[in-house]
């Protein structure tokens, strides 16, 4: 069912500059092969625009590689993070969208992603499923696990902070 781990790793690493941490991936691939249980690979995409772009395509193709190796993909749509203007991975905070704008943008995502991913090996989830029910105490408990120092370790936030540009608590 599953190719030898070395062959899987070779295919996964193709076109990648680095796998972090590679030893952990190897361990998971070995366990998957030994137990004949596919890995579940998750990646999130925020619906701040109506279309996926070429940068998304690169990682979606890598997800397809995992599928071709027998693993499952969970395509996470950032419905809840789009409601708050998620600040991660950007030069500036993403815009806050209305639920209607989010739904309009999501309308095309599924069609676009299935041009690359195998629908039979893909689960589509919305992060609002688990984030929306959280109470303030749950959110504060989560935020207490993440420090400002840790946040500033990220290049995108550190650069914005050094330039005097806003970095939202969210």
Domain at 107, CATH number: 3.40.50.620
Q: Are residues 88 and 118 in the same domain?
A: yes
Q: Are residues 25 and 67 in the same domain?
A: no
Per the structure, the complete domain to which residue 2 belongs is given by 1-37
Residue 166 lies in a domain: no
d(CA 42, CA 124): 10
Q: Are residues 53 and 33 in the same domain?
A: no
Q: Are residues 90 and 15 in the same domain?
A: no
Residue 43 lies in a domain: yes
Q: Are residues 56 and 104 in the same domain?
A: yes
Burial class (CB in 10 A: 0-12, 13-18, 19+), 53: exposed
d(CA 73, CA 35): 18
Residue 163 lies in a domain: no
Taking only the tens place, the pLDDT of each residue in 82-102 is 888 766 655 556 678 889 999
pTM of the model: 0.81
Strand partners, 44: 76
Beta strands 122-126 and 40-45 are: unpaired
Strand partners, 124: 75
Residue 42 lies in a domain: yes
DSSP state letter for 41: E
Taking only the tens place, the pLDDT of each residue in 104-148 is 888 889 889 999 999 999 999 999 999 999 999 999 998 899 888
d(CA 162, CA 89): 16
CA 145 to chain centre: 20
Total count of domains within the chain? 2
Average pLDDT, rounded, for the chain: 90
d(CA 36, CA 102): 38
Residue 147 lies in a domain: no
């Amino acid at each position: 069912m599953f190719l030898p781990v070395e062959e899987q790793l070779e295919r996964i690493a193709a076109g990648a500059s680095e796998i972090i941490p590679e030893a952990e991936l190897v361990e998971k691939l070995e366990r998957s092969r030994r137990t004949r249980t596919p890995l579940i690979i998750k990646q999130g995409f925020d619906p701040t625009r109506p279309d996926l772009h070429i940068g998304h395509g690169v990682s979606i193709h890598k997800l397809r590689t995992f599928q071709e190796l027998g693993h499952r993909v969970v395509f996470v749509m950032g419905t809840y993070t789009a409601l708050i203007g998620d600040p991660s991975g950007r030069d500036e905070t993403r815009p806050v969208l209305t639920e209607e704008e989010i739904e309009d943008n999501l309308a095309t995502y599924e069609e676009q992603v299935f041009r690359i991913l195998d629908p039979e090996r893909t689960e589509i989830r919305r992060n609002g499923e688990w984030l929306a029910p959280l109470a303030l105490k749950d959110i504060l408990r989560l935020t207490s696990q993440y420090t400002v120092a840790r946040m500033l370790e990220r290049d995108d936030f550190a650069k914005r902070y050094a330039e005097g540009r806003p970095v939202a608590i969210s």
